[in-house]
């Protein structure tokens, strides 16, 4: 948490601690698996807001979250070629991040390990840092360069993914990176200018402003959005910010940076929004996104977006 579940065989994960903040190289057949087949080093699967409960039969807003994640995992493992990795941008657990939630989550994503697909997790406001680290401790780095936060870099052939920790308080809606994490990010970005940088966190960016009443707008996303974008906007090799939290699919742009909202794999807040995940295909000068709705009949299923990197 980022926690890296890194497989070596079809039947088991290699439990391997990597120093937090160190680069993790994902390339073709970087992690072997018996009969696992080839992977595309430029392809990633993006998920968010899985909200898995310890009880596999649990339902929220008419959705069985475990069934939704199991379906997404099945679809990802069936891809050809396979992605180089899977990134889950937070809220892995249902509500308060109970230990049993993470035990259930780990069991549901086990087929990804069997298919030689490393899984990288970030924390959201419904996660619990101590519980997830306790339950998945074999997959966790021994330490973090940012006290009280878990950060990491996943290095791919065409981009570096910077995974941040925006969890401030369990079950409190807004998120916060904090000065120490932002300082680490600035230093890490400056040390990795050789490739485009994609920054990932759970919370959506929200800039201060006034609502219709004239009062300051309530922040339900990232509280230190301005400070984050002060770091990102001036570094031209930073190309995109990827997040979840809103339970909807979308993409906008600010200062030439692409803002990519990964949809919820679990339940949604509006009937028109699909439960879904995203195929992200890194290109030499941009990224291609394909929406994969769990309901293949949804009108947005298969929607594709081509985003060019700013120069």
pLDDT digits (tens, 9 = 90+) for 221-230: 999 999 999 9
In this predicted structure, the answer to whether residue 137 has a pLDDT above a threshold of 80 is no
In this predicted structure, the answer to whether residue 174 has a pLDDT above a threshold of 70 is yes
Would you place residue 30 in the very low, low, confident or very high pLDDT band (cuts 50, 70, 90)?
Answer: very low
H or E stretch at 72? helix 65-77
Range of weakest confidence among 157-161, 215-219, 294-298:
215-219
Q: What are the E-state strand segments in the chain? A: 3-7, 13-14, 23-26, 39-47, 59-60, 63-64, 82-89, 119-122, 152-156, 160-163, 197-200, 238-243, 250-254, 257-261, 276-283, 286-293, 304-308
Q: Could you tell me the residue ranges of all domains in the chain?
A: 3-308
Report the pLDDT averaged over residues 132-156. 85
Q: How far is CA 249 from CA 48, 75, 134, 196, 282, in A?
A: 10, 18, 31, 23, 19
Mean pLDDT of the chain: 88
| pLDDT value, residue 17 | 28
In this predicted structure, the answer to whether residue 93 has a pLDDT above a threshold of 50 is yes
pLDDT digits (tens, 9 = 90+) for 37-75: 689 999 999 999 999 999 999 999 999 999 999 999 999
| pLDDT value, residue 6 | 57
Report the pLDDT averaged over residues 248-270. 97
| pLDDT value, residue 211 | 66
CATH number of 3-308: 3.60.21.10
Q: Given phi > 0 = left and psi -120 to 50 = alpha, else beta, which region is 153? A: beta
Q: Between 139 and 120, whose confidence is greater? A: 120
**What share of the chain in percent tops pLDDT 90?**
78
Q: Between 214 and 101, whose confidence is greater? A: 101
| pLDDT value, residue 14 | 29
In angstroms, how far is CA 101 from the centroid of its own chain? 18
Report the pLDDT averaged over residues 111-140. 90
**Tally of helices (H runs) and strands (E runs) in the chain:** 5, 17
pLDDT digits (tens, 9 = 90+) for 182-210: 999 999 999 999 999 999 999 999 998 76
């Amino acid at each position: 948490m980022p926690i890296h579940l890194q497989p070596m065989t079809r039947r088991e994960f290699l439990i391997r601690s990597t120093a937090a903040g160190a680069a993790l190289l994902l390339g073709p057949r970087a992690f072997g698996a018996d009969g696992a087949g080839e992977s595309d080093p430029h392809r990633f699967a993006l998920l968010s807001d899985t909200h898995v409960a310890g009880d596999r039969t649990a339902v929220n807003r008419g959705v069985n979250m475990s069934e939704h994640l199991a379906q997404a995992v099945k679809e990802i493992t069936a891809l050809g070629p396979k992605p180089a990795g899977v990134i889950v941008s937070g809220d892995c657990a249902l509500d308060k991040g109970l230990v049993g939630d993470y035990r259930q989550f780990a069991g549901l994503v086990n087929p990804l390990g069997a298919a030689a697909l490393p899984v990288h997790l970030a924390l959201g406001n419904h996660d619990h840092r101590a519980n997830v680290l306790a339950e998945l401790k074999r997959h966790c780095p021994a330490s973090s360069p940012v006290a009280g936060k878990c950060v990491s870099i996943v290095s791919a052939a065409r981009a570096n993914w910077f995974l941040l920790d925006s969890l401030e308080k369990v079950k409190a809606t807004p998120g916060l990176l904090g000065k120490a994490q932002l300082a680490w990010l600035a230093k890490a970005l400056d040390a990795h200018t050789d490739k485009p940088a994609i920054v990932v966190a759970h919370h959506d960016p929200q800039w201060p402003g006034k609502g219709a009443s004239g009062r300051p707008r309530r922040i339900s996303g990232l509280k230190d959005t301005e400070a984050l974008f002060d770091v990102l906007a001036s570094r031209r090799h930073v190309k995109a910010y990827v997040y979840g939290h809103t339970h909807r699919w979308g993409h906008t742009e600010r200062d030439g940076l692409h803002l990519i909202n990964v949809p919820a794999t679990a339940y949604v807040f509006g009937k028109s929004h699909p439960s879904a995940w995203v195929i992200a295909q890194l290109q030499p000068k941009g990224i291609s996104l394909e929406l994969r709705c769990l309901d293949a009949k949804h009108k947005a299923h298969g929607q594709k977006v081509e985003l060019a990197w700013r120069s």
